Amino acid sequence: MNSRIRYIYLIIIDFFILLFFILSLIYSFKIKNNTSSGNPFELEEESDKMNYFKYNITNNYLEKAYCICGEDTLLDYCNEELLKSGCKNLSINIEIENLRNFVQCEEIQNRIIKENLKLKNIFELKTDSIYSSITTLIVLNIIIFILAILYFPGFELYFNSKAEEINDYMKAKEKEKKEEEKNKSKFDDCLDTCEICCMILSYSFFLIFILILISLAILIILIIIIIIFSIVCGLYNSDDTSKYLDLLECTNVNKEGFYKFSSLENLSSHFIAFKIVQSFYIINVFICGFFTLSEKMLFKD
C-alpha cells in the first residue's frame, strides 16, 4: 500500500478512536457518577409523599367522564368553552391508549398513597451493579485505547525506526566491505552476507510475533468489553428506571416533589449517548486492529 495513503488512513483511524474514546469516557464517568450513591430511592422519607401528586384520582374512573386537554386530564365532562378550545371528552370506547396510561398512573399512585409503599418497593433499580460494571468497562476502555495507540501508529513508528537502523547497518557494512575488500576472502564475504540475512530474518520474525501478540491481546480485551457493555445495557434495560420516568410524565405528578431522585433522569439521557459512542468506539478499535494486521501482513508494498 502506498505510504501516503497508509498515513491518511492512520490519521483518520486514530482521530475516530481518540474521539469516541473521549466521548465514551465522558459518558461512562457521568453514569458512574449517577450511580455512585447507590439506589437513590433509599433517600426517600415518609413526608416526601405529600409532594408527589397534585390531587387524588378516584378509583371509580370507569363510572366517570374525563376531559382531555393536551397533557391535562379533568375529572368531568368538558364544558362548551373547553370543547371549543380543543379539549375532548373521554369514554371507555375511545382514546383507549390515553385511558390505559391514566390507569397505570392511578395504580402507582394508589400503591404509594393508599398502600403506603416506598418507591424502592415499587421500582427495582440495579444502580449498584451498573456502577461496578461501568467502572470495569472504563478500565478496559483505557487499556485497549493504550494498546491501540501502541499498536497503530506506535507499531508503525517502531517498525520504521528499526528499518532505518538495519539500513544504516547495511550501509556501514557495505562501506566497511569496500575498504577491506582486498584483504578479505570470499569466505569472509559469505559470512557477512549470512550475518545480515540472519539479522533481517530475526527482526522480521520478532515483528510478526509482536504483531500477533498485540492483536490477540486487543481481540481478547475487545471481546470482554463487548460482554461487559452488553451486561451494563442489560442491567439498565431490565430495571425499572424507564417505568419510574413514565410515572413522572403522569398529569397528576408534581415533578418537583421527586427532586431527590433527579439522578435517574440524568442517567437515562447519559445512557442513550453512552450506548451510541461506546458502540462506535468498539467498531473503530476493531477496524484499527484489522487494518493494521492486514496492511502489515497482506498488503505490503
**CB contact at 8 A, 281 and 141:** yes
Measured CA distances, 141 to 146, 147, 169, 228, 279 (Å)? 9, 10, 40, 11, 12
pLDDT tens, N- to C-terminus, the chain (301 residues)? 566 676 677 778 778 888 999 999 999 999 999 888 888 888 888 888 888 887 655 443 444 567 888 777 776 778 778 887 888 777 644 344 455 566 778 788 888 888 888 888 888 888 899 999 999 999 999 998 888 776 655 555 566 566 566 566 566 656 665 555 555 444 455 555 565 566 555 666 666 677 777 778 888 888 999 999 999 999 988 888 888 888 888 877 888 888 888 888 888 889 999 999 999 999 888 887 777 666 665 544 4
Rounded Cα–Cα distance for residues 93 and 103 (Å): 15
Q: How many CB atoms sit inside 10 A of residue 57's CB?
A: 21
pTM: 0.66
Query: Cell numbers 375532548 label which residue?
Result: 88
